[in-house]
Amino acid sequence: MDLAMTNSIVSTATSLASAKNSDAVNIAVLKKALDIQAVSASTMLDAMQQSMPQPALATSGTLGTQVNTFA
Residue-wise pLDDT for 26-58, tens only, equals 899 999 999 999 999 999 999 888 888 777 777
Rg (CA), the chain: 29
Q: Chain-wide mean pLDDT for the chain? A: 82
Query: Does residue 38 sit within a domain?
Result: yes
Query: Does residue 43 sit within a domain?
Result: yes
The percentage of residues in the chain with a pLDDT greater than 70, rounded to a whole number, is 96
pTM (two decimals): 0.52
Query: Does residue 33 sit within a domain?
Result: yes
Domain encompassing residue 41: 23-50
Domain count, the chain: 1
Query: Does residue 16 sit within a domain?
Result: no
- The Cα 6–Cα 42 span in angstroms is 54
Asked whether the predicted pLDDT for residue 63 surpasses 70, the reply is: yes
Query: Does residue 42 sit within a domain?
Result: yes
